């Protein structure tokens, strides 16, 4: 579904992404794990054309390397950005409405669908984004992205700053979305343990390069990964 070839991102002399190749097949949950500064966010920003890049990105057979971000969203890929970036001065419903900008005719149906997936958001539909807890804000960021009815959902560090029990709930919702609603998922995470538990396949990013690729279960059992990313 997504195929990335020789992707490079440079900020002046800093090479944040050094010619990486990876793919996500339809129906998979794929994770890219790596430490702070490894180049994960830059990779996602490059896929969505939010930063200057070199290389090619193909999505569902088409070359999207040169498309603007809103066209990429219209092609069926949605980003849940690092730090959630919800609108704190707008209500839950207003945040969802913004997420439906490519899809306004379906707004009411999609909103009800989101309230089914995230009952907490239904309870808080008229509350301001800024008044929600961290976990609720992350749910809102995911629901907002889903309002474009993506084939593929791309998430940048959704677990950041959340308590382990909330991460477990949230990742459970991602698994449900993948299984029940056929949403393919690319998940970028520093929380390797949580990400590897729900992923089918995984890549490990270090210093702008992908240094390992395997089934998520195999990486979870690997001594090297345990030592480096799972706290021994």
- The footprint of ligand ATP (CB under 6 A) covers 11, 14, 16, 34, 36-42, 82, 190
State the residue for tokens 């040169």: 66
Nearest to 197 by CA among 187, 184, 182, 211: 187
Residue nearer to ligand ATP on the CB measure, 125 or 228: 228
CA atoms of 58 and 68, how far apart (whole Å) = 14
In the complex with ligand ATP, the residue whose CB is nearer, 129 or 208, is 208
Closest contact distance (angstroms) between CB of 105 and ligand ATP is 35
Nearer to ligand ATP, 21 or 93 (CB): 21
Q: Which residues pair with 209 in a beta bridge?
A: 206
| Nearest-approach distance from CB 114 to ligand ATP, in angstroms | 26
Between CA 85 and CA 87, with CA 86 as vertex, the angle to 5 degrees is: 115
CB of 41 to ligand ATP, least distance (A): 3
40 vs 84, which CB is nearer to ligand ATP? 40
Among 186, 210, 174, which Cα is nearest to 44's? Answer: 186
Give min distance, CB of 230 to ligand ATP, in A.
17
Q: What's the CA gap between 129 and 149, in Å, rounded?
A: 21
């Amino acid at each position: 579904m997504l195929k990335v070839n020789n992707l490079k991102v440079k900020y002046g002399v800093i090479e944040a992404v050094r010619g990486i190749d990876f793919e996500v097949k339809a129906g998979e949950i794929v994770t890219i794990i790596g430490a702070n500064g490894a180049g994960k966010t830059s990779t996602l920003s490059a896929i969505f054309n939010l930063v200057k890049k070199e290389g090619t990105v193909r999505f569902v057979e088409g070359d999207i390397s040169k498309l603007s971000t809103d066209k990429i969203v219209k092609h069926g890929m949605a980003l849940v950005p690092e730090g959630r970036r919800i609108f704190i001065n707008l209500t839950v419903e207003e945040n969802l409405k913004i997420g439906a900008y490519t899809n306004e005719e379906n707004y009411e149906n999609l909103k009800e669908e989101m309230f089914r997936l995230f009952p907490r958001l239904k309870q808080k539909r008229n509350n301001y984004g800024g008044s929600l807890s961290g976990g609720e804000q992350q749910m809102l960021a995911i629901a907002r992205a889903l309002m474009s009815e993506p084939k593929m959902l791309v998430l940048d560090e959704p677990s950041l700053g959340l308590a382990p029990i909330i991460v477990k709930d949230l990742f459970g919702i991602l698994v449900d979305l993948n299984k029940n609603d056929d949403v393919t998922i690319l998940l970028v995470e520093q929380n390797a343990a949580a990400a590897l538990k729900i992923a089918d396949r995984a890549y490990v990013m270090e210093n702008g390069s992908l240094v390992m690729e395997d089934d998520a279960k195999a990486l979870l059992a690997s001594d090297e990964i345990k030592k480096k990313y799972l706290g021994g």
